[in-house]
Amino acid sequence: MSEITTSGPSDSALEIAAAVRAGERSAVEVVDAHLAQIEAHEPAVHAFNVVMAEQARAAAADIDARVAAGEDPGPLAGVPVALKDNMCTNGVPTTCSSKMLDGWKPPYDATAVERVRAAGAIAIGKTNLDEFAMGSSTENSAFGATKNPHDLNAVPGGSSGGSAAAVAAGFAPLALGSDTGGSIRQPAALCGVVGLKPSYGAVSRYGLIAFASSLDQIGPFTRTVADTAALYDAISGHDGRDSTSIPEPMEATVPHLDDGVAGLRVGIISELFSGELASGFEPEVLAQTRAAADALAAAGATVDEVSVPSTIYGLSAYYLIAPAEASSNLARYDGVRYGHREDGAANTGGMMTASRTAGFGSEVKRRIMLGTYALSAGYYDAFYGKAQRVRTLIINDFDRAYADYDVLLSPTSPCVAFPFGAKSDPLTMYLNDVATIPSNLAGHPAISVPFGAGRDGLPVGVQILAPMLKEADLIRVSAVLENAAQESAA
């Protein structure tokens, strides 16, 4: 097993920003240190589709000039941030790791990108993903897979595998990813970093290339819980350019980092821990989840198991709803409105067919076919309609659980990082998302926090779930788990 995470810059984003704001460290020096780490290890990891070296150096020089002029460039001043390559970046190629969008340069920044920049962070590159964010291993990228920095023979998870690997490898202390069914939390777990999926509507989706619009959310990857809190606070909040953006002000999470868990009621989701479904989870993953529950109890929380019965149908409902929405969202890539164009066909229909055939990879085509079928007349009620009813059941079951519990706990992923090619049939791959999907269907926030090691010493993540807009509770619980994990490793 070759591992590279032990080298390179390890300062947290908050440490870097404090030093840059105080004029003790230059942002240019910070960026250069991270670019040096990228130069040394990116060929082995392949976290990026594009490294924005020149733009990053120029942005860093600007931050330094502002500090010298007595300005405060913001809470993330001078901190490199890696951006999943499905977020629009003005003038910088944005591909979704698809041949369909290869070479496309958006004329604007996504709101989340705009906000990290406004907070002083410096975009350092665009990260690799499963094509159009469909996958759980980053093996579906049209530009080659990303490797897990903890074991270069294993996947980093997906679909935001490049963002998770970039943070784990010391390429950037911060990254943004998107999570439709687990694509932030699962790669965070497999790469040993923190990953937060915010409440649906907490972070603007403006400029995020749509996969399944009722599920997609942008969120942070970091090495520390405090950095996740700071990055979430920077990107969350209302945006008039996203019609599903929540108008009410979001609660800041940073002030809750040290709240602790005394008196907090924690429920372990039994379906994802002791039920039949969980019998397929790796025993080490379940053992670490138990250890995390014990750590919370030791810190003053009350911990019980609670049943959230319809979670077991989440996977089936998701793999109808998400492909249905994707089939509609991806209709725009027809060689005319957007995307790759194959010329030479006899007519427009032929050109569109040829363009889509050449531009999309096989998993994307599978989803488009699944979704089109689920939405077709005659099957709509039986598949799409039924899945939407399951979605309502899941929301109701969570509401019942949250009447008695403040937060819920489960493993993030059934397994640790697996070897390339190990899950070659789609169904086996889809099973990776069984623990993460329910919170997307409900719209609730959830976080993955590294907690110890599993098979072959690879990182394990535990997932905390909370009701709508209770990100602050996720942060306070995560901070306790982070401490406990460090203590037991020491």
Q: Give the active site residue among 160, 183, 245, 439.
A: 183
We find the least distance from the C-beta atom of residue 134 to ligand GLN, in angstroms, to be 5
User: How do beta strands 80-84 and 174-179 pair?
Assistant: parallel
402 binds ligand GLN (CB under 6 A): no
131 binds ligand GLN (CB under 6 A): no
Q: Give the active site residue among 12, 26, 84, 439.
A: 84
219 binds ligand GLN (CB under 6 A): no
Dist. CA 2–CA 148, nearest whole Å:
10
Dist. CA 386–CA 379, nearest whole Å:
10
Nearer to ligand GLN, 433 or 482 (CB): 433
Of the candidates 51, 81, 116, 133, which one interacts with ligand GLN according to CB under 6 A? 133
User: How do beta strands 217-222 and 174-179 pair?
Assistant: antiparallel
Q: Give the active site residue among 26, 98, 141, 159.
A: 159
Task: Show Cβ contacts of residue 446 under 8 Å, excluding neighbours closer than 6 positions.
Answer: 185, 196, 197, 436, 439, 463, 464, 465, 466, 474
211 binds ligand GLN (CB under 6 A): yes
Phi, psi of 372 (to 5 degrees): -65, -40
Candidate segments 73-81, 128-136, 263-271, 340-348, binder of ligand GLN by CB under 6 A: 128-136
We find the least distance from the C-beta atom of residue 216 to ligand GLN, in angstroms, to be 7
Dist. CA 122–CA 34, nearest whole Å:
11
439 binds ligand GLN (CB under 6 A): no
The alpha carbon of 291 is separated from its chain's Cα centroid by a whole number of angstroms, namely 24
159 binds ligand GLN (CB under 6 A): yes
Q: Is 159 a catalytic residue?
A: yes
We find the least distance from the C-beta atom of residue 133 to ligand GLN, in angstroms, to be 4
Residue 266's beta-bridge partner residues?
303, 407
146 binds ligand GLN (CB under 6 A): no
Nearer to ligand GLN, 73 or 181 (CB): 181
Residue 48's beta-bridge partner residues?
127
We find the least distance from the C-beta atom of residue 130 to ligand GLN, in angstroms, to be 7
Dist. CA 14–CA 353, nearest whole Å:
49
Of the candidates 50, 134, 293, 407, which one interacts with ligand GLN according to CB under 6 A? 134
Q: What x-and-dash track marks residues 319-348 binding ligand GLN by CB under 6 A? A: ---x--------------------------
Nearer to ligand GLN, 17 or 208 (CB): 208
Nearer to ligand GLN, 21 or 84 (CB): 84
We find the least distance from the C-beta atom of residue 322 to ligand GLN, in angstroms, to be 5
Sign of the torsion formed by the C-alpha atoms of 419, 155, 136 and 437: positive
179 binds ligand GLN (CB under 6 A): yes
243 preceded by a cis bond (ω within 30 of 0): no
Alpha-helix runs per DSSP H in 159-224: 161-168, 185-191
433 binds ligand GLN (CB under 6 A): yes
- In the numeric block, the tokens 């602790």 are attached to 260
How many chain residues touch ligand GLN (CB under 6 A)?
14
Q: What x-and-dash track marks residues 271-310 binding ligand GLN by CB under 6 A? A: ----------------------------------------
User: How do beta strands 194-197 and 265-269 pair?
Assistant: unpaired
- 313 token code pair: 């149908």
The alpha carbon of 191 is separated from its chain's Cα centroid by a whole number of angstroms, namely 12
177 binds ligand GLN (CB under 6 A): no
- 397 token code pair: 């079951």
Dist. CA 123–CA 27, nearest whole Å:
12
Which residues make up the interface to ligand GLN (CB under 6 A)? 133-136, 159, 178-183, 211, 322, 433
Annotated catalytic residues are 84, 159, 183
